[in-house]
């Protein structure tokens, strides 16, 4: 990756898409369904159009997006951008501001760069392998803002989490009582929040120590957030395998635990068996 030139290029697309999402968020928009319980809105489609088409036009790179079927993870490509134009569409539909744009770059088989942005709060997270991550709260209109790529840190190596006891988990997994067999005692408190991309980004910049999910994940759900987390010095594990989360493998990742390295290792050592027996291989 040519950094920061290509980071600047894709960030402009993300910021433009965030403006578009926010303009639709404040209206009485229509809701479609890709499948039962899987909503789709004009905001998803417009954000995808802006970012995916922009990357293909400006960088000549393939894009693996939730809202398209033009790319297969089996395709051999040295660089692939992995996009979810809105991770957390259910929250978007409910007018709950816990959703985010997620964009990650896999280059030569390795996750190299990621952006996550919450269009409602203005939170912009980014990370690049080997150099660290950045976090800034922007004001609208976002397309007029520039990111300072020199303002970065390895948050999970440099500081303690702001709230060291709260583990971020899924709203739907909490509602469906997926965590009831994990007896985590008084050391940890589970806090439900929407969008795995947003949760990963918050953890990556030290707002919370860890996030946990027991359901399958697509690459586009987590590529941006895991890129930022790894750049911050964090650790992520697919729960089923106990290994670093794989990308472009043609298989769903089954469960995810990610956060500050020492806390993830402690939690894994204590609760590995109960987590692996609780993961769901289907939604």
Q: Which residues are annotated as a binding site for Mg(2+)?
A: 66, 84, 86-87, 221
How does strand 189-192 pair with strand 166-169? parallel
Annotated binding residues, written as ranges, equal 66, 84, 86-87, 221
Q: CA-CA distance, 136 to 149, in Å (whole number)?
A: 11
Q: CA-CA distance, 28 to 147, in Å (whole number)?
A: 32
Paired residues of 31 in beta bridges: 41
User: Can you list the alpha helix ranges (DSSP code H) found in the chain?
Assistant: 5-25, 42-59, 89-93, 155-158, 171-175, 196-204, 219-231, 261-278
Q: CA-CA distance, 90 to 32, in Å (whole number)?
A: 11
Q: CA-CA distance, 218 to 64, in Å (whole number)?
A: 11
Rounded alpha-carbon distances, angstroms, from residue 207 to 67, 102, 160, 259: 30, 18, 9, 10
Residue with tokens 């707002």: 207
Cα first-last separation, the chain:
35
DSSP classification of residue 153: B
Backbone angles phi, psi at 152, to 5 degrees: -145, 165
């Amino acid at each position: 990756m040519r950094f920061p030139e290509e980071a600047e290029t894709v960030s402009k697309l993300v910021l433009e898409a965030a403006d578009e999402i926010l303009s639709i968020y404040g209206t009485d928009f229509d809701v479609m369904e890709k499948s039962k319980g899987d909503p789709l809105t004009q905001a998803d489609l417009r954000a995808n159009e802006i970012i995916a088409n922009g990357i293909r036009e400006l960088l000549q790179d393939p894009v693996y997006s939730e809202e398209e079927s033009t790319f297969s993870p089996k395709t051999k490509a040295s660089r692939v951008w992995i996009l979810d134009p809105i991770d957390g569409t259910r929250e978007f539909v409910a007018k709950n501001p816990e959703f985010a744009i997620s964009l990650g770059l896999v280059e030569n088989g390795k996750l190299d760069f990621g952006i996550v942005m919450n269009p409602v709060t203005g939170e912009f997270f980014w990370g690049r392998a080997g150099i660290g991550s950045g976090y800034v709260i922007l004001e609208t209109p976002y397309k007029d803002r520039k990111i300072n790529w020199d303002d970065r840190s390895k948050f999970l190596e440099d500081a303690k989490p702001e709230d060291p006891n709260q583990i971020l988990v899924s709203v739907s997994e909490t509602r469906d009582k997926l965590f009831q067999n994990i007896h985590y005692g008084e050391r940890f408190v589970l806090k439900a929040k929407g969008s795995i991309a947003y949760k990963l980004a918050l953890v990556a910049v030290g707002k919370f120590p860890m996030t946990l999910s027991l359901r399958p994940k697509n690459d586009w759900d987590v590529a941006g957030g895991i890129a930022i987390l790894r750049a911050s010095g964090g650790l992520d594990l697919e729960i089923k395998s106990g290994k670093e989360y794989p990308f472009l493998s043609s298989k769903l990742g089954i469960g995810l635990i990610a956060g500050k390295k020492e806390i993830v290792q402690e939690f894994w050592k204590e609760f590995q068996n109960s987590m692996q027996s609780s993961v769901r291989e289907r939604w």
